[in-house]
Amino acid sequence: MTEYPSMIFATLQPQPMSDNRDARYARHLMLPDFGPEGQTALENARVACIGAGGLGSSALLYMAAAGIGTIRIIDHDQVEISNLQRQIIHGTKELGRRKVDSACERLQDVNPLIKIEPIFSRLNGENALDLLDGMDLVIDGTDNIPTRYLLNDACEILGIPWVHASVFRYEGQLTVFNLSGSANYRDLFPKAPPPGSIPSCSEAGVLGALPGILGTMQAMEAIKIIAKVGSPLTEQLMILDTRKMNSRTLSYSKDTSRARAVKLDRQNEYIDPGCEVQKVPDMQSMTVTTLHDLMDGENGPFLLDVRRPNEETICTIPGTDLRVEHTQIVQNLDSIPKDRDVVVYCRSGIRSMSAIAALAANGWKFEQLWNLDGGILAWSREIDPTMPRY
């Protein structure tokens, strides 16, 4: 595998169906309104999937099995044990591997007749247009809101439709954006929510089968669009509640007054709130090793956990003085000392930054506030390997 940006891809040329292909795709060929024409359209299609995680796993497997000719996988993560509960494209033996490598190997086994293009990179304002150029369709397997706005703008500039899905605990959403000029993500969600206001799956949890269901639906929409079968889910948002196993559909429309995207913001708009460049300049970080040493001595810092109650039941750093959810900091100021150093931690070091900003805005001095770098995950990796990771 070659990493972006040096990767140069050859265009997949349409090939006549052999007996082997006829057998492989026989159930497609029998379908009314699909047949050989629909299968040929799939073989000639180029689809990018952003993310090889929960949504991407099932979407990729079914698109590969269906015979989509070229699938480009863009992901920057490695396989972790907490992924395996829902990311079915990866197995236990893939722990520690790049997800794009693991997914590529699995898809080649599913269907050796298709071309897989693995790209180990984070989609960002610098590379999005290059990585998506020439694609016929994009699958949204992302897990954060800034990247969705980036994906939306890149697809609008390039004129590419994309199939969006998101999952949260027991619920999922699905829709198709930017198909033949239809409404897009900014029409449905004009403004991004404040950083930290919507928890990720790692913070809120997700039922393992849910992204599998939604990812399979994304593959279905992609196949329908490419083969021109049925009616795509444009300007309709399907919401699935798996607790009751019911769904509803909400309509939305294009905002004709909204300015069309003509270029990408290469600096700030699409940056994940957890990135270094978004930290408050005066905010101090402390490593877990330093914290461990300080806690062994006298006059250690006040240790503040800003995770949710359900996370505390999974694991906690010994010696934690107080747990207050990061959104409730202002309501609990009286419980946090001003005459001691305060070390704030969450799962990975993102929500804790929001809590520190709230404390600084209410009279605490930045020089007494410390963000635990890497959060409790870093503690588990470097101090106590027996601590559960989630």
Phi and psi (nearest 5°) for 62?
Answer: -75, -30
pTM over the 0.85 mark:
no
The torsion region of residue 257 among left (phi > 0), alpha (psi -120 to 50) and beta comes to alpha
Q: Which CATH class is domain 279-382?
A: alpha beta
Q: What would the pLDDT profile of 130-166 be if each residue is shown by its tens digit?
A: 999 999 999 999 988 999 999 999 999 999 999 999 9
Q: What pairs with residue 236 in β-bridges?
A: 251
Residues with Cβ within 8 Å of 166's Cβ and at least 6 positions away in sequence, in order, are 172, 173, 214
Per the structure block, which two tokens stand in for 115? Answer: 């071309």
Q: Which residues are catalytic?
A: 201, 346
Confirm or reject CATH 3.40.50.720 for domain 19-251, answering yes or no.
Answer: yes
Q: What would the pLDDT profile of 248-272 be if each residue is shown by its tens digit?
A: 999 999 999 999 999 997 655 676 5
* Residue 130 · residue 117 · CB < 8 Å: no
CATH code 3.40.50.720 region(s) in the chain: 19-251
Burial class (CB in 10 A: 0-12, 13-18, 19+), 369: buried
Q: What would the pLDDT profile of 32-79 be if each residue is shown by its tens digit?
A: 999 999 999 999 999 999 999 999 999 999 999 999 999 999 999 999
Residues with Cβ within 8 Å of 289's Cβ and at least 6 positions away in sequence, in order, are 382, 383
* Residue 177 · residue 226 · CB < 8 Å: no
115-120, strands of its sheet edge to edge: 115-120, 70-75, 46-50, 137-140, 162-168, 171-177, 236-241, 246-251
Nearest to 69 by CA among 21, 34, 105, 6: 21
CATH code 3.40.250.10 region(s) in the chain: 279-382
